[in-house]
Amino acid sequence: MIGPEAEAAAAAIRAANDLPYSVGLILGSGLGALAEAVSDPLRIPYEDLAGFPASGVSSHRGELIAGRLEGVPVVVLAGRSHYYESGNAAAMRVPVATLKALGCDTLIATNAAGSLRTHVGPGDLMLITDHINFAGADPLIGEPGEARFVGMTGAYDESLRAALFGAAEREGIALASGVYMWFSGPSFETPAEIRLARTVGADAVGMSTVPEVILGRFFGLRVAAVSTITNLAAGMTGAELSHEETKQIGPLGAVKLERILRRFLRDRGLR
Ligand code: HPA
C-alpha cells in the first residue's frame, strides 16, 4: 500500500541521510521558517522525487527536508499541494506514504485558517480536535482493498494533542482548540457558508489538511494538526478576504507555532 514511488523516495533519502525518522511535519502557509531550523539537513525539491506534487502556490515551497529538529529525526514536507490546485485530493499521497516508508509514526500538519470565533483571531493558534470534510473529496477514492475504509473517530490523536497542549503551556503560548471545516477553495467562503459552518459546529475553516490527515490515518500514522489563524472568517468583519492577508498574517502565528513544535520535539526526545 505504500507504493513504489514512496519506497523509491525513502530509499533515496536513507541513502543520503539514514536516521531513525519518527516525526513528519507538513508546513503550511508562512511556516517555511521551521524548515530552516533542521540541522544537518538533506534537502530534496519535490520535482526531483517521482510522485511528489509540483506545489504551485506562492509562499509554499515544495521541498522535503530530512534531518534533526531539537535532536529528533524529522522529515519536513515544506509545501503541500492543495485539492484546489489540481482537483486531485490524493496529491499528497506519495509524500505522506514516504513518511511511513521512512519509519515515521507521527504526522503533524499545519495550515492557515479563518476563525469563526472572535476571541480566536489573527495570529492565534488552534489545535484541531476534529474535522468536517465539507469539500466532499477523499484521497482514498479509487484505493483498492479493505484498508480504504479508514476509521476517523480518533483521527486527531489524543496523546499527541495532550503533548502539544503541554508544550504550548510550558512555552506560555495560548493554544485554542476546535473543529476544522474543509472547503475546497480556491475561492473563499461566503458569509452564508460561514453561518452554515458555525451551525454545524465548525470553529475554523480552511482549504487543506483534511486529505493529509485521512492519508496519515490510512498509513497508520498518529496525527495532529494545528491551524494558524490568519483572519476572522467571511462576513465577520467588513473586510474582503485575500490570499495576501493569509501570507502577511501567517508568520505571526508561525513564530509561536515554531516554539510549540520545538518544545514538543524536545520533550519527545527526552522520553
Ligand atoms: N478560509 C479558507 N481558507 C483560509 C482562510 C479562510 O478564511 N484563511 C486562511 N485560509
For the segment 122-140, what is each residue's pLDDT rounded down to a tens digit? 999 999 999 999 999 999 9
Report whether pLDDT(1) > 80: yes
Residue nearest ligand 1's atom 2 by CA: 206
The pLDDT tens digits of the residues spanning 20-39 come to: 999 999 998 678 888 999 99
The whole-number average pLDDT for the span 221-225 is: 98
> Rounded to two decimals, what is the model's pTM?
0.96
Q: How far is the CA of 12 from the centre of ligand 1 (A)?
A: 35
Report whether pLDDT(235) > 70: yes
243 catalytic residue (yes or no): yes
Ligand 1 pocket test target in 83, 131, 193, 207 with most atoms within 8 Å of CB? 207
Report whether pLDDT(60) > 70: no
Q: What local confidence, expressed as pLDDT, does residue 19 receive?
A: 97
131 catalytic residue (yes or no): no
**Residues in a beta bridge with 182:** 133, 206
Q: What local confidence, expressed as pLDDT, does residue 181 receive?
A: 98
Q: Does any ligand 1 atom lie closer than 6 A to the CB of residue 62? A: no
Report whether pLDDT(271) > 90: no
Catalytic residue among 207, 233, 234, 254: 207
Q: What local confidence, expressed as pLDDT, does residue 247 receive?
A: 85
Ligand 1 atom with minimal separation from the 241 CA: 7
Q: For the chain, give every domain's residue range.
A: 4-269
Share of the chain above pLDDT 70, in %: 96
Q: What local confidence, expressed as pLDDT, does residue 175 receive?
A: 98
Q: How far is the CA of 265 from the centre of ligand 1 (A)?
A: 28
Catalytic residue among 176, 208, 225, 254: 208
The whole-number average pLDDT for the span 81-96 is: 96
Q: Does the domain at residues 4-269 carry the CATH identifier 3.90.1150.10? A: no
Share of the chain above pLDDT 90, in %: 86
The pLDDT tens digits of the residues spanning 241-257 come to: 989 888 888 888 999 99
Report whether pLDDT(64) > 90: yes
Report whether pLDDT(58) > 70: no
Report whether pLDDT(80) > 60: yes
Q: How far is the CA of 206 from the centre of ligand 1 (A)?
A: 5
Confidence class for position 57, pLDDT limits 50, 70, 90? low
The whole-number average pLDDT for the span 57-80 is: 87
The whole-number average pLDDT for the span 193-215 is: 98
Q: Does any ligand 1 atom lie closer than 6 A to the CB of residue 231? A: yes
Q: What local confidence, expressed as pLDDT, does residue 270 receive?
A: 66
Mean residue pLDDT across the chain = 94
Smallest CA-to-CA distance from 164 within 110, 231, 102, 97 is with 110
29 catalytic residue (yes or no): yes
Within 10 A of 18 (CB to CB), how many other CB atoms are there? 12
Separation CA 176–CA 251 (nearest Å): 17
Q: What local confidence, expressed as pLDDT, does residue 245 receive?
A: 86
Separation CA 157–CA 185 (nearest Å): 26
119 catalytic residue (yes or no): no
Q: What local confidence, expressed as pLDDT, does residue 104 receive?
A: 98
Q: How far is the CA of 112 from the centre of ligand 1 (A)?
A: 6
